[in-house]
């Protein structure tokens, strides 16, 4: 599994690539490191998986100032250039879903299909449950197994809340390369004031908006907002799933997302969709199935 560092605007960014096939870029959530993707990425054995540690997380360097979401979108382009990938399918999780929205808007030709998982539009979104949201103010859950175990149910819901063995597996992955406290703070500051509300109708890609109905952090209403405003979006709600559903129910979510990514394309892979600004067409459906 090739793993290396690239230099980007004075930052040292950890990037890894594995597998063969069409490229699939995984955009991480707040404080996440590359290792946390392992259960989910194993569901895509026919794909060339590209992962990175965002500035301040994992093995990447810690910035001295916040890196904004438009800048993070530019970072993703730099990663794709380094990997010699002119286009890619993109899965953005939580915080990474916000970055993925920005990437699709700012650099539409680099994205083929877009998956937005457990995420929202920033300013204009429906707030999550207050105790869960305030718990994100600290990276302590990455350092203290007891703290994560004690707060995971209220913060994340879903399988993580119901299955102690899953929590123990997640604790191990989180502690491999926990985010630096100042790096975590820089991520939080980087999203302050951000919103995709105004540009969502300009995202031209086929998009899967997928969420769990037991997510204390990102209520289902936020997925509906994204699916309503992105012209070519499909909405899928997973019953009983929580915020960490890509990892605590990886086989189920891999199957669902794989169906979307692997269906027949209306265009060739070498001809990604152009930026669309004048015409809107809605394609929304809701799929519910027990976890």
pLDDT for 288 equals 36
Using alpha carbons, select from 94, 86, 92 the residue that is nearest to residue 111: 86
- Give the pLDDT confidence score for residue 273 in this predicted structure: 52
- pLDDT for residue 246: 97
* 186 located within any domain: yes
268 in any annotated domain: no
Does 249 fall in a domain? yes
Walk along the chain (291 residues) and give the pLDDT tens digit of each residue: 566 999 999 999 999 999 999 999 999 999 999 999 999 999 999 999 999 999 999 999 999 999 999 999 999 999 999 999 999 999 999 999 999 999 999 999 999 999 999 999 999 999 999 989 988 888 999 999 999 999 999 999 999 999 999 998 888 888 888 998 999 999 999 999 999 999 999 999 999 999 999 999 999 999 999 999 999 999 999 999 999 999 999 999 999 999 999 987 765 444 555 444 433 333 333 333 333
> Torsions phi, psi of 84, nearest 5?
55, 45
Q: Is residue 141 part of a domain?
A: yes
Instruction: Reduce the secondary structure of 187-248 to three states and give it as a string.
Output: HHHHCCCCECCCCHHHCCCEEEEEEECCCCCCCHHHHHHHHHHCCCEEEEEEECCCCCHHHH
Is there a domain that residue 284 lies in? Answer: no
For 16, the token pair is 């890894």
The CATH number linked to 55 is: 3.40.50.1820
Provide the domain count of the chain: 1
- Is 180 inside a domain boundary? yes
The answer to whether residue 144 is catalytic is: no
Rounded to 10°, the helix 181-190/69-82 angle is: 110
Of 61, 94, 144, 195, which residue is the catalytic one? 94
Task: Give how far the C-alpha of residue 142 lies from the chain's centroid of Cα atoms, to the nearest Å.
Answer: 18
Instruction: Centre a 10 Å sphere on the Cβ of residue 268 and count the other Cβ atoms it contains.
Output: 8
For residue 25 the two structure tokens come to 């870029």
Q: 7 is in which domain, residue-wise?
A: 3-262
Cβ neighbours of residue 56 closer than 8 Å, sequence gap 6 or more: 62, 63, 67, 179, 180, 182, 183, 184, 186, 187
Rounded distance, CA 219 to CA 193, Å?
Answer: 20
The answer to whether position 209 is within a domain reads yes
pLDDT of 275 reads: 47
- Residue 273 covered by a domain: no
Q: What angle do CA 105, 116, 196 make, to 5 degrees?
A: 40
- Structure tokens belonging to residue 227: 């699916």
pLDDT at 266: 66
Residue 192 has a pLDDT of 95
């Amino acid at each position: 599994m090739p793993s290396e560092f690239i230099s980007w605007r004075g930052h040292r960014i950890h990037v890894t690539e594995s597998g063969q096939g069409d490229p699939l870029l995984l955009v991480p959530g707040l404080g996440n490191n590359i290792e946390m993707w392992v259960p989910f990425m194993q569901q895509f054995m026919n794909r060339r998986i590209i992962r990175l540690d965002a500035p301040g997380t994992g093995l990447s360097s810690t910035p001295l100032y916040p890196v904004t979401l438009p800048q993070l979108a530019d970072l993703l382009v730099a990663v794709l250039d380094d990997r010699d990938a002119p286009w890619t399918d993109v899965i953005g999780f939580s915080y990474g879903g916000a970055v993925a929205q920005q990437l699709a808007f700012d650099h539409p030709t680099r994205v083929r299909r877009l998956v937005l998982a457990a995420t929202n539009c920033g300013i204009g979104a429906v707030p999550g449950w207050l105790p869960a949201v305030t718990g994100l103010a600290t990276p302590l859950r990455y350092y203290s197994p007891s703290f994560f175990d004690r707060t995971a149910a209220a913060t994340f819901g879903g399988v993580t809340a119901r299955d102690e063995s899953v929590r123990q597996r997640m604790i191990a992955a989180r502690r491999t390369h926990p985010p630096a406290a100042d790096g975590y703070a820089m991520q939080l500051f980087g999203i302050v004031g951000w919103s995709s509300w105004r540009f969502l109708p300009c995202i031209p890609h086929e998009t899967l908006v997928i969420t769990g109905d037991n997510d204390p952090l990102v209520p289902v209403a936020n997925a509906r907002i994204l699916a309503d405003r992105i012209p070519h979006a499909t909405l899928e709600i997973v019953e009983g799933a929580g915020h960490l559903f890509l990892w605590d129910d990886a086989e189920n979510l891999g199957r669902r997302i794989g169906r979307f990514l692997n269906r027949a394309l209306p265009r060739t892979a070498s001809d990604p969709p152009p930026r669309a600004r004048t015409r809107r067409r809605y394609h929304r459906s809701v799929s519910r199935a027990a976890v």
